[in-house]
Amino acid sequence: MPFSATSSAPLSQSHATLQGGPRCSPVVDGGEPLLLLGDDPRLLRLLELVRRVADTDATVLINGETGTGKEVVARLLHGESRRRREPFLAVNCGAIPESLQEAEMFGATRGAFTGAAASRAGVFEAATRGTVFLDEVASMGHALQVALLRVLQSGEFTPIGSTQSRVSGARIIAAANVNLQALVASGQFRSDLYYRLNVIQLDLPPLRERRGDIAKLVAHFAQTFCARYGRPPLTFAPALLHRLCAHDYPGNVRELQNLVHRLVLLAGSSSLTLSDLPHDFQTTSPAPVQPARLFRQAKACVVEGFERAFLSAALARSGGVIADAARDTGLSERVFHVKVRKYALATRAQERAARDTEPKVTQA
């Protein structure tokens, strides 16, 4: 792949869609469906903004700590725009040495610098009328900040070693995991560039500020990884879920995703308890007691965890038959159905449907 992309997925195949409502926005990325899951009001407001600005040429600045979903949002913006059939090309400015950032973005002519054996296009050229996603934009050197400002003002850029300007038709989406405004104040980031990038600002909340979404994310990642490795569905003991909800997640959703991945891979049985957590997780003390405003979210997290574990156990006892599980637990079938859908629990009917859609092998 010619560019350092922040994702391993083939960028040119990146499509996204907001169909299905803001709570659960399927993103198809190189054939892999991704999700921007969450019910937190800040996330829902952000998704509403994404809908509104996706199909415009406005430059968007996405702020958020690492792992909060900035790249997912950038791909959503691209996938919901009329540029969706054009490339989505990402440059992680933080991962490339300053000396190479310019070539990565604007390209270089043959012999422009030592090792440039052939001329190469930069992302602004290769993206044609697609989207260029500039990740960790704060790591951009001063010279490059000036060159990027020029692209934003006139669309023009000049490959290294060339005397001829070219014009880019790409839309720019930038992301920052540090406070850019503070860098502007300390003179490390150009204020004119900041204002050009910041036409629309989207702020992704850290996971510890939306703990109400943790149980849902745990269930989603567990289901995804169990399906990937052909493992039976997992249940999480309430104490385990409570611990997961209390953690601060400096790595945000990515950290939670990796943790659940590990739990799925190492699971000794289909019912996980607190002792299945990695040792360091068990020994570090959980986050301090939630402030009152988080009470509702923390309660929802524990209640959802309890409901999921309770109902999966009932379904396991009834062999996946909802009517029997409902009778067994004293719930109405209608309520049970609603909860099965909410928690995406495995039922007999689903098993049958999956068997019916399996390709039939006919022996000669």
Ligand X SMILES: Nc1ncnc2c1ncn2[C@@H]1O[C@H](COP(=O)(O)OP(=O)(O)O)[C@@H](O)[C@H]1O
Tell me if 305 contacts ligand X by CB under 6 A: no
Q: Residue 69 binds which entry of Mg ion, ligand X, none, with Cβ cut-offs from 5 to 8 Å by kind? A: ligand X
Distance of CA 274 to the CA centre of its chain: 27
Q: Which residue is nearest to ligand X (CB)?
A: 69
DSSP 331-358: --HHHHHHHHHHHT---HHHHHHHHHHS
Distance of CA 155 to the CA centre of its chain: 29
**Which residues between 71 and 130 bind Mg ion (CB under 5 A)?**
71
Q: Nearer to ligand X by C-beta: 18 or 103? A: 18
Question: In the bound complex, what is the minimum distance in angstroms from residue 71's beta carbon to Mg ion?
Answer: 4
Question: In the bound complex, what is the minimum distance in angstroms from residue 27's beta carbon to ligand X?
Answer: 8
Three-class DSSP category at 157: strand
Distance of CA 162 to the CA centre of its chain: 38
Question: In the bound complex, what is the minimum distance in angstroms from residue 228's beta carbon to ligand X?
Answer: 13
**Which residues between 234 and 253 bind ligand X (CB under 6 A)?**
253
Question: In the bound complex, what is the minimum distance in angstroms from residue 31's beta carbon to ligand X?
Answer: 14
Give bridge partners of residue 282 from the DSSP assignment.
none
Tell me if 34 contacts ligand X by CB under 6 A: yes
Q: Residue 37 binds which entry of Mg ion, ligand X, none, with Cβ cut-offs from 5 to 8 Å by kind? A: ligand X
Tell me if 36 contacts ligand X by CB under 6 A: yes
The residue length of the chain stands at 364
Q: Nearer to Mg ion by C-beta: 65 or 71? A: 71
Q: Residue 49 binds which entry of ligand X, Mg ion, none, with Cβ cut-offs from 5 to 8 Å by kind? A: none
Binding residues for Mg ion, rule CB under 5 A, total 1
**Which residues between 171 and 230 bind ligand X (CB under 6 A)?**
217
CA atoms of 19 and 291, how far apart (whole Å): 35
Cβ neighbours, 10 Å, residue 105: 27
Q: Residue 68 binds which entry of ligand X, Mg ion, none, with Cβ cut-offs from 5 to 8 Å by kind? A: ligand X
Tell me if 136 contacts Mg ion by CB under 5 A: no
Tell me if 66 contacts ligand X by CB under 6 A: yes
Radius of gyration of the chain (CA): 24
130 and 89 in contact (C-beta within 8 Å)? Answer: yes
201 and 61 in contact (C-beta within 8 Å)? Answer: yes
Instruction: Supply the DSSP symbol for 126.
Output: H
Cβ neighbours, 10 Å, residue 168: 23
- Nearest-5° Cα angle at 25, 24 to 27: 135
Among 5, 18, 60, 68, binds ligand X (CB under 6 A): 68
Q: Nearer to ligand X by C-beta: 38 or 320? A: 38
Report in angstroms the alpha-carbon separations of 11 from 82, 85, 197, 248.
16, 11, 22, 32
Among 92, 223, 235, 257, binds ligand X (CB under 6 A): 257
Helix (H) or strand (E) holding 134: strand 131-135
Q: Nearer to Mg ion by C-beta: 71 or 276? A: 71
Chain residues binding Mg ion by CB under 5 A are 71
Chain residues binding ligand X by CB under 6 A are 34-38, 64, 66-72, 217, 253-254, 257
